[in-house]
Amino acid sequence: MVLARRLSVAGWVSVAVGLLVVVGSLGWWWAGHDRVEVGGDAMRPTYAAGDRVVVDTAVDGAEVGRGDVVLFSAPEVQGFTDPVIKRVVGVGGDRIECCTEAGAGAEQRLLVNGEPLDEPYVADGVVDGRVPGGANEEYVVEVPEGRLFVLGDYRSNSNDSRSYGGDQGGTIPLDAVQGRVVAGTTAALPLIVAALIGLVVALAGLVLVLGAKRMRRLCDLPNAPWPAGPLGV
């Protein structure tokens, strides 16, 4: 009976811990992440229209840095309210120049604070593509504090800081950022694994509880009403 009681306690503890892991994993995910569908090709080849990306909504504009892909809405400079995703190229205090004088097209490089920026993610390696409306290929922007300079990865087909309005170089305010894109749907994999582990632990605990219950039943069976004797008597 003591063993059955211990198994039962261990089983219920396992059930509780497993369920807490499952609920905690799923709760943390839904509270701090969102899935967004990419609406255009401005971020190709990194993300194409129709791709589903995961956005960490717990990250604000003050936490993002150069190279991050962010979801934001800045109607005062965009001219529309729909959120879009772009890549952060410059943060407050940066000087962005397009482009180096070494060549054109795929040979060009943006300068950030005087240093060439390596951008392996841009479409066809072209960093100075014209945007719809014929924006100039060459520009110099001093990014104000508290703002971000953002570009699409498909520079020839992206409406971004090069063409945004306003008097601050087409930059967006930090509070326009709604989250940082962390990856595709595979970003949820660690949490899914954690939830599955929690589920396995809970099921194992349930097996222990049922085993302890069966053990009690066996222990409570009445003794035979006749004395046991030697075989053949």
Q: List the CATH code of the domain at 33-187.
A: 2.10.109.10
pLDDT band at 223 (very low <50, low <70, confident <90, very high): low
Digit-coded pLDDT (tens) for 140-177: 899 999 999 999 999 888 999 988 977 888 999 999 99
pLDDT value of position 130: 54
Q: What is the pLDDT at residue 134?
A: 43
pLDDT reported for residue 119 = 92
Distance CA 159, CA 140 (A): 17
Amino acid at 214: R
The predicted pLDDT at position 198 comes to 77
Residue 6 reports pLDDT greater than 60? yes
Q: Which of 25-34, 37-46, 122-131 has the highest mean pLDDT?
A: 37-46
Q: Are 70 and 53 spatial neighbours (Cβ–Cβ below 8 Å)?
A: no
pLDDT above 90 coverage of the chain, percent? 37
| Dihedral sign, Cα of residue 189, residue 190, residue 193, residue 194 | negative
Exposure of 212 in the CB half-sphere (CA atoms within 13 A):
18
Residue 18 phi/psi, 5-degree rounding, is -60, -45
Ranges of each domain in the chain:
2-29+189-215, 33-187
What is the chain's length?
233
How confident is the model over 55-107, as pLDDT tens digits? 988 889 999 999 999 999 999 998 889 999 999 999 999 999 987 654 455 66
Residue 71, both tokens = 């979801």
Average pLDDT, the chain: 81
Q: What pLDDT sits at residue 177?
A: 97
* pLDDT of 231 above 60: no
pLDDT for the residue numbered 58: 85
Q: In what order do the strands lie in the sheet with 172-173?
A: 33-37, 52-56, 177-183, 69-72, 84-90, 147-151, 172-173
Q: Which two tokens stand for residue 103?
A: 């060549």
Better-scored residue on pLDDT, 164 or 9? 164
Q: Is the pTM of this model over 0.75?
A: no
What is the model's pLDDT at position 28?
62
Q: Are 74 and 169 in contact (CB under 8 A)?
A: no
pLDDT classification of 41: cutoffs 50, 70, 90: very high
Cα separation of 34 and 179, whole Å? 9
Secondary structure element (H or E) that encloses residue 78, with its range: helix 75-78
Residue 106 and residue 126 in contact, taking contact as beta carbons nearer than 8 Å:
yes
Element (H, E) at 218: helix 189-219
Q: What is the DSSP letter of 57?
A: T
